[in-house]
Amino acid sequence: MDTNEAYKRIKRLRKELEEHNYRYYVLSDPVIGDREYDTMMEELVKLENEYPQYYNPESPSQKVGSDISSEFTQVRHDYPMLSLSNTYSRGELTEFDTRVRKGLNEPFEYVCELKYDGTAISIRYERGIFTRAVTRGDGVQGDDVTSNVRTVRSIPLKLRGKGYPEIFEARGEVLLPREGFLRLNRAKEEKGEPPFANPRNAAAGTLKLQKSSQVAKRPLDCIFYALYGEGLLFDNHYDNLTKAREWGLKISDYMKKCDNLDEVFAFIDHWDKQRFELPFDTDGIVVKVNSLRQQKKLGFTAKSPRWAISWKFSAERAATILRSIDFQVGRTGAVTPVANLDPVSLSGTTVKRASLHNADFIELMDLRKGDRVYVEKGGEIIPKIVGVDFSSRPSGSKKVNFIDNCPACNTPLKRDPAEARHYCPNHSGCPPQIKGRINHFVSRRAMNINMADATAGQLISAGLVKDPADLYSLRKEDLLKLERFAAKSSENLIMSISESRKVPYHRVLYAIGIRYVGETVARRLAESFGSVDELASAETERLSEAEEIGEKIAGSIKEFFEDPVNMEFISKLKSAGLQLKKDDVAERENGGNALEGRKFVVSGVFENYSRDGIKEMIINNGGKVVSSVSSSTDYIVAGENMGPAKLNKARKLNIPVISETDIEAMVKKKKDVNE
């Protein structure tokens, strides 16, 4: 590579890395994996070293990625929050060890810790009182997110005991356990919002919410990994953290002191296999020199300490061929591009498809049909394309362009400048949207109509249903004309539709399918607005005053009720006899006392209910929902990905662990007896 080519490559790498920094730190929406980012950064550093004439202090290689937001006040760190150097190589870790030995020339020990996949925070304590919380920012200054961080339950607002320094900073990682992440994504999908790609993005995005009341409802956790300040009790990292546990700070149970590199590698190998058993994500191991005096002696580079390094676990990945791209339309009109891949085995499953998120992702990745792409499972959950093998790209390949018109109804797509997604505005005439709304409407957590997903397509094709309200006009004779419908199945569906008229107001609001209105928001709306007429006539300001209803949701509600087609839909639901106003007596009568006097812990992700839906069933039937497992707990209602700590405690206390089917049966059995 000649000098001119090197300069062009350096400029391109800087530009791309700046964009990836912005997406990772500010938008919490990365489009490439950590390894791709690190590889690009390594190439940039190498080129800048080879061609020092192109040194630029503003290069991404010279600074910490920034999560600073103009919506928050910036605060300067008393101690810089630098990033760690990363490695995936045993050879590079050995080189790090050699540099440390040469720099110290005296005995030392390491401390190994899990590297939590969340977002860094620095919390200041004065005389044992929490006074301020600041994000990493650009390493020199960060955003003041004190009001939001105060809501994280594992962070003490007042320290326990005594002996702590008068003023010090506790550095930690705010994270979202997998269980909470799955629940949060399920709620976002119910509201028609794109899900978070992984728990790290969810945690970072939550800390930047403008309402701390919304932050408080997300199950964030925080694990502390360092103390900074004058007057620390010990001259070593390990003992200071151990002491901090006595003050009420949540310190990792997985730290280990290591005397040599062999012990470090043993720690890495152990957690590379065992990390999937943890209730939260960890993406590597941090190796630190234990002595604070020796840390000071080794010092820092421009962006990272010389006394610590991060070993990154390699996410399982596979290479395959991108064959084509489908564009799917959801019930809210959101258009999602999906990659069709040659089948490839990944993390024990066969992956054939992967989400491409949106038009920006396709543009940034420069995707083309026939490309050899690398696929990983984001957060070990969602398949995603993380890179392209440009060296094997077929000659003459054409760039993939995002579509301009809806693939289902050919309506020109729209894109809100504030969002990354394209939408089809033809909500009343676009078949996938109609089908999606009907299937949402009849779902268990909405109107609970016993109807298969495929039936919606049959009803639409036969011209019997144009919106969910038309279900209430169906007759047995109409259904008998459809394939696979006999007399009994037709009667059952008609009866189930009729029974749904008893569903309470807040669930009808959820069933209607207003964008961004999930189960919890629907319940809050029902509490604040006694009828659908009151809700429809409310001004945006009045809507925004309701609990959990911000400007975004308020705007969506206002837009929904300003559409004449939607108002006609509501009118049809009224004529059909649905519960479109609050009736406290009726809602209580829908429950019972089947679970009276019993305490339940609800944990995990469920197939037929949201977790709030399970809790609602328990409360409506006289039971009590508690958050933690104790000897007074009667049952654990467990779904998939239940937290292992709760499960282990339940087993120790011999508390029965039951499923959603079991809790349904308990309720039904009592009702059957009463009837």
Q: Are 666 and 631 in contact (CB under 8 A)?
A: no
The residue that leads in pLDDT, 621 or 532, is 532
The 3-state DSSP class for residue 597 equals coil
Residue 261 confidence (pLDDT):
95
Residue 60 confidence (pLDDT):
77
**Is the same domain home to 15 and 58?**
yes
Residue 66 confidence (pLDDT):
53
Percent of the chain having pLDDT more than 70? 91
Question: What's the domain count of the chain?
Answer: 5
pLDDT (mean) for 363-388: 81
Orientation angle between helical segments 519-528 and 178-190, nearest 10 degrees: 60
**Residue 22: partners with Cβ closer than 8 Å, 6 or more residues away:** none
Q: Are 180 and 219 in contact (CB under 8 A)?
A: yes
Of the given ranges (416-430, 443-457, 474-488), which has the lowest mean pLDDT?
416-430
**Is the same domain home to 97 and 20?**
no
Residue 83 confidence (pLDDT):
82
| Rounded distance between C-alpha atoms, residue 617 and residue 660, angstroms | 10
Of the given ranges (8-12, 371-375, 519-523, 654-658), which has the lowest mean pLDDT?
519-523
CB atoms within 10 A of CB 250: 17
Out of 8, 11, 63, 115, the active site residue is: 115
List the structure tokens of 491. 């009667």
Q: Which of residues 567, 585, 603 is at a domain's end? A: 585
**Is the same domain home to 570 and 493?**
yes
What is the full DSSP assignment across 264-278? HHHHHHHHHHHGGGS
- Cα dihedral value 194, 196, 197, 198, nearest 10: -170
Identify the burial level of 207 via C-beta atoms within 10 angstroms of its C-beta, where 0-12 means exposed, 13-18 middle and 19 or more buried.
Answer: buried
**Is the same domain home to 174 and 307?**
yes
CB atoms within 10 A of CB 94: 14
Residue 534 confidence (pLDDT):
95
What is the pTM assigned to this prediction?
0.54
pLDDT digits (tens, 9 = 90+) for 523-557: 889 988 999 999 999 998 888 877 668 788 899 99
Instruction: Find the CATH number of the domain harbouring 10.
Output: 1.10.287.610
Please report whether residue 414 resides in a domain.
no
Q: Which of 14-28, 226-240, 548-562, 575-589 has the highest mean pLDDT?
A: 226-240
Provide the 8-state DSSP code for 22. I
pLDDT digits (tens, 9 = 90+) for 647-658: 888 888 999 999
Q: Which of 279, 268, 311, 235 is nearest to 38 (CA)?
A: 311
What is the full DSSP assignment across 161-200? SS---SEEEEEEEEE--HHHHHHHHHHHHHTTPPPPSSHH
**Is the same domain home to 322 and 197?**
no
pLDDT at 382 over 70: no
pLDDT at 126 over 90: yes
Q: Which of 252, 224, 244 is nearest to 161 (CA)?
A: 244
Q: Which of residues 34, 62, 90 is at a domain's end? A: 62
**Is the same domain home to 195 and 117?**
yes
pLDDT digits (tens, 9 = 90+) for 244-278: 999 999 999 899 999 999 999 999 999 988 887 88
pLDDT at 28 over 60: no
Instruction: Find the CATH number of the domain harbouring 295.
Output: 3.30.470.30
| Rounded distance between C-alpha atoms, residue 505 and residue 525, angstroms | 10
pLDDT at 588 over 50: no
* Cα-to-chain-centroid distance, residue 609: 19
Residue 14 confidence (pLDDT):
87
| Rounded distance between C-alpha atoms, residue 48 and residue 668, angstroms | 70
Whether 115 is catalytic: yes
Domain extent for 186: 74-312
Residue 288 confidence (pLDDT):
96
pLDDT at 71 over 80: no
Q: Which of 35-49, 97-111, 133-147, 617-631 has the highest mean pLDDT?
A: 97-111
Specify the amino acid at residue 440: H
> For the chain, what is the radius of gyration of the CA atoms?
28
Is residue 675 very low, low, confident or very high in pLDDT (cuts 50, 70, 90)?
very low
Is residue 122 very low, low, confident or very high in pLDDT (cuts 50, 70, 90)?
very high
The 3-state DSSP class for residue 434 equals helix
Please report whether residue 468 resides in a domain.
yes
pLDDT (mean) for 44-50: 87
**Is the same domain home to 226 and 97?**
yes
List the structure tokens of 590. 């829908």
Provide the 8-state DSSP code for 83. P
pLDDT at 307 over 90: yes
pLDDT at 569 over 90: yes
The residue that leads in pLDDT, 26 or 241, is 241
Residue 436 confidence (pLDDT):
92
pLDDT (mean) for 421-441: 91
Please report whether residue 421 resides in a domain.
no
| Rounded distance between C-alpha atoms, residue 136 and residue 134, angstroms | 7
Is residue 358 very low, low, confident or very high in pLDDT (cuts 50, 70, 90)?
confident
Is residue 27 very low, low, confident or very high in pLDDT (cuts 50, 70, 90)?
low
Please count the CA atoms within 13 angstroms of the CA of 596 that sit on its side-chain side.
6
Is residue 98 very low, low, confident or very high in pLDDT (cuts 50, 70, 90)?
very high
Residue 592 confidence (pLDDT):
60
Residue 46 confidence (pLDDT):
87
Please report whether residue 95 resides in a domain.
yes
pLDDT at 673 over 50: no
Of the given ranges (258-272, 499-513, 553-567, 572-586), which has the lowest mean pLDDT?
572-586
Pairing assessment for the beta strands 86-87 and 221-228 based on DSSP bridges: unpaired
Residue 301 confidence (pLDDT):
78
Q: Which of residues 293, 312, 331 is at a domain's end? A: 312
Please report whether residue 415 resides in a domain.
no
pLDDT (mean) for 564-588: 84
**Is the same domain home to 464 and 602?**
no
pLDDT (mean) for 598-602: 89
Which strand ranges, in their side-by-side order, compose the sheet holding 256-258?
86-87, 308-312, 282-289, 110-116, 256-258
Q: Which of 155-159, 197-201, 645-649 has the highest mean pLDDT?
A: 155-159
Is residue 487 very low, low, confident or very high in pLDDT (cuts 50, 70, 90)?
very high
Q: How far is CA 435 from CA 460, 473, 508, 609, in A?
A: 8, 17, 18, 21
Please report whether residue 270 resides in a domain.
yes
Percent of the chain having pLDDT more than 90? 42
Please report whether residue 408 resides in a domain.
no
**Is the same domain home to 115 and 228?**
yes
Residue 204 confidence (pLDDT):
84
Residue 586 confidence (pLDDT):
46
> How many degrees, rounded to 5, is the angle at CA 563 between CA 558 and CA 566?
100
CB atoms within 10 A of CB 436: 20
Q: What is the mean pLDDT of the chain?
A: 86
**Is the same domain home to 96 and 198?**
yes
Instruction: Find the CATH number of the domain harbouring 610.
Output: 3.40.50.10190
Instruction: Find the CATH number of the domain harbouring 536.
Output: 1.10.150.20
What is the full DSSP assignment across 433-452? HHHHHHHHHHSTTTT-----
**Which residue matches tokens 């300001």?**
541
Please report whether residue 69 resides in a domain.
no
**Is the same domain home to 288 and 222?**
yes
The 3-state DSSP class for residue 157 equals coil
**Is the same domain home to 559 and 440?**
yes
